[in-house]
Amino acid sequence: MESISIDEILQITQGKLIQGTRELFVNHVTIDSRKLEGEALFVPIIGENNNGHDYINQFFLNGGKVCLSQEQKRVIPEGMTVIAVNSTLEALKALAGFNRHRYNIPVVAITGSSGKTTTKDLVAAVLSQKYNTLKTEGNFNNEYGIPQTLLNLGPDHQLAVIEMGMDHLGDISKSIQIVEPDISIITNVGLSHIERLKTQENIYLAKKEILQTLKNDGIAYVNGDDHFLKKIQSETNNYQVRTFGIEGQHTVKAIDYHSSHNGLEIQVGWENRNELYTFNYPGKHNVYNCLVAIGLGYFYGMTQAEIQAGLNAFVPSGNRMDIFITGTVKVINDSYNANPDAMRASIDVMEVLGHEYQRKIAILGDMLEMGEYGPPAHYEIGNYASGKVDVLIGVGNLGKEICRGFGNAGEVFEVSDAQAAGECLEKIIAPNDIILIKASRGMGLEKVIDFIKAGIE
């Protein structure tokens, strides 16, 4: 972030200087009092469990000089320059919007029920082969994280790839004005968050908020095979609609693909180009993820070699399709999160990779926030796993429904939590097994990995 003055901060945030000097400049904005880089501005956010104003003194002791505050009665060290604002969160967004619009570069925004983080990482990996690309890091895809990502934009960046998550209707709307993307991508519309949103139609409407600020030359780049997203093509919009997919006609189409233990081969068609690409990870769901990245590469004038180099450079984020071998056992750690589409995709990946292994063991836990859809969805996942899995360990209350759906298709174990799942696995693990770990993040199934390593020592 390039420097901004106190006067500029006052104007951007519509704040009031209540203490300190106007003679300072800021080149970093943080909501974490421990992260003091350069000439930092501390923005104390009031969250559900913490009030950032409680850490202003610590920020000062760490060497910080400037902060915002919406609690004007709070006593702050005399050496601190303090700008009063009505809402520190809205001020953070205003600063992020200002920084985003300082640079006339393309911004790509991505959302979806499944695969948005993988897609974001893939798109960034591809575009980075030609352009200096900023991307959302970690789980900074919410109302607090998106502004922080935009504040990292600097004069050397040529593109930005921003991931946008949501839990409720209106969540994406809260941030889309400051992102103002040139291209908005929706990967799919599934059942994530259906407990809160009640219907898949509402999930579709929540995802569509990412299209709200697209201008006449903006592009909605959507999964044309998705039942809900197909509707966008027939709606009257000011922006352009382009699609990616496997079935039917699409702007970017997988003409053919082959999934094996070596990964993917995808024949991709776009305008007059017909090119073969490879990807190190198998699964039909990854075809869609790759099509987004390949399509963006086409749109931004990249060669086949540059796009392929980006696909080769992709590294999954933590606990997402992390495939590794320990001893003679292969592990697919996909424990970061789960929904029915993602669960089926992970099972498919294990089936493809498992041909050379003695047994396929699936440790499948609760998919959370599904409300009344939970029991039947988990039962269906168990049924889907039958014939594809040799041993099933169902974890949690809804894991019992997975076991029930699995029936007598193989060995079945019902356990209460990650600890019990690890202990169960430790007893049965054998050489040449392949193990899938998949559940919602709240189940903490990544703990099972320690038991895997202990069981084969």
Contacts of 387 (CB under 8 A, 6+ apart): 409
Question: Is residue 88 annotated as involved in ligand binding?
Answer: no
- Do both 330 and 451 map to the same domain? yes
Report the pLDDT value the prediction gives residue 72, as an integer from 0 to 100.
Answer: 84
Residues 276 and 395 in one domain: no
Same domain, 149 and 31: no
Find the mean pLDDT for residues 426-442: 95
Choose the final residue of a domain: 269, 287, 313: 313
| C-beta atoms surrounding 416 within 10 Å | 12
Element (H, E) at 203: helix 200-208
Q: How far is C-alpha 306 from the geometric centre of its chain's CA atoms?
A: 24
Mind giving me the DSSP string for 99-138?
Answer: HHTTS---EEEEE-SSSHHHHHHHHHHHHTTTS-EEE--T
C-alpha 426/C-alpha 410 separation (Å) is 18
Total domains present in the chain: 3
Please identify, among 47, 62, 91, the residue that sits at the C-terminal boundary of a domain. 91
Look at residue 346 and give its three-state secondary structure.
helix
When pLDDT is averaged across residues 110-136 and rounded to a whole number, the result is 96
For residue 353, the enclosing domain spans: 322-455
**238 and 290 fall within a common domain:** yes
Q: 449 and 408, same structural domain? A: yes
- Examine the domain organization and report whether 13 and 124 are in the same domain: no
- 349-383 as b/e: b if 16+ CB within 10 A: bbbbbbeebebbbbbbbbbbbbeebbbebbbbbbe
Taking 80 as the threshold, does the pLDDT of residue 314 lie above it?
yes
pLDDT of residue 233: 85
Same domain, 44 and 182: no
Task: Quote the pLDDT of residue 451.
Answer: 86
100-114, 266-280, 311-325, 364-378: least confident range: 311-325
Contact present, 148 and 81 (Cβ < 8 Å): no
Q: Is residue 110 within 8 Å of 129, Cβ to Cβ?
A: no
Q: What pLDDT digit, counting tens, does each position of 142-191 carry? A: 999 999 999 999 999 999 999 999 999 999 999 999 999 999 999 999 99
Is 117 assigned to a binding site? yes
The pLDDT of residue 73: 86
Q: Report the mean per-residue pLDDT for the chain.
A: 95
C-alpha 221, offset from chain centre: 17
3-state SS, 356-405, equals HCCEEEEEEECCCCCHHHHHHHHHHHHHHHECCECEEEEECCCHHHHHHH
CA distances to 124, 127, 298 from 130, rounded to whole Å, are 10, 6, 12
User: Do residues 297 and 310 lie in contact, with contact meaning Cβ atoms separated by under 8 Å?
Assistant: yes
pLDDT of 455 reads 60
pLDDT of res. 316: 87
Residue 251 known to bind ligand: no
- Residue 89 CA to residue 71 CA, distance in Å, equals 13
Claim to verify: residue 146 and residue 210 sit in the same structural domain: yes
Report the amino acid identity of residue 143.
E
User: What are the tokens at 393?
Assistant: 């360990």
Task: Flag the least confident range among 2-11, 225-234, 446-455.
Answer: 446-455
Q: Is position 152 within any domain?
A: yes
Kindly state the average pLDDT of the residues 295-313. 98
Amino acid at 38: G
- CATH number, domain of 75, equals 3.40.1390.10
Q: Is residue 96 one of the residues assigned to a domain?
A: no
Contacts (Cβ under 8 Å, ≥6 apart) of 186? 111, 112, 207, 208, 210, 211, 220, 221, 222, 223, 226, 229, 232
Please state, in angstroms and rounded to a whole number, the distance separating the CA atoms of residues 457 and 454: 5
- Note the pLDDT of residue 139: 86
pLDDT category, 320, cuts 50, 70, 90? confident
pLDDT at 318 over 80: no
Task: Let me know if residue 98 belongs to a domain.
Answer: no
> Is the pLDDT assigned to residue 43 strictly greater than 70?
yes
Q: What is the C-alpha to C-alpha distance for residues 447 and 427, in angstroms, rounded to an integer?
A: 16
Token couple for 328: 């003679």
| Domain co-membership, 67 together with 178 | no
CB atoms within 10 A of CB 333: 22
Rounded distance between C-alpha atoms, residue 150 and residue 178, angstroms: 8
Return phi, psi of residue 353, to 5°. -80, -15
Q: Residue 360: inside a domain, yes or no?
A: yes
pLDDT tens digits, residue range 330-362?
999 999 889 999 999 999 999 999 999 999 999
Residues 334 and 451 occupy one common structural domain: yes
Average pLDDT over residues 407-430: 95
Q: Are residues 298 and 174 in the same domain?
A: yes
Rg value, the chain, Cα: 24
**Is 149 annotated among the ligand-binding residues?**
no
Contact 214, 194 (CB under 8 A): no
Burial environment of residue 325 by CB neighbours within 10 A (0 to 12, 13 to 18, 19 or more): exposed
- Burial tier of 425 (Cβ tally within 10 Å: 0-12, 13-18, 19+): buried
Q: How far is CA 26 from CA 10, 40, 71, in A?
A: 12, 6, 21
116 annotated among ligand-binding-site residues? yes
Residue 230 lies in a domain: yes
Instruction: Give the burial string for 17-52 (b: 16+ CB within 10 Å, else e).
Output: eeebeeeeebebbbbebeebeeebbbbbbeeeeeeb
Under the banding of pLDDT at 50, 70 and 90, the label for residue 457 is: low
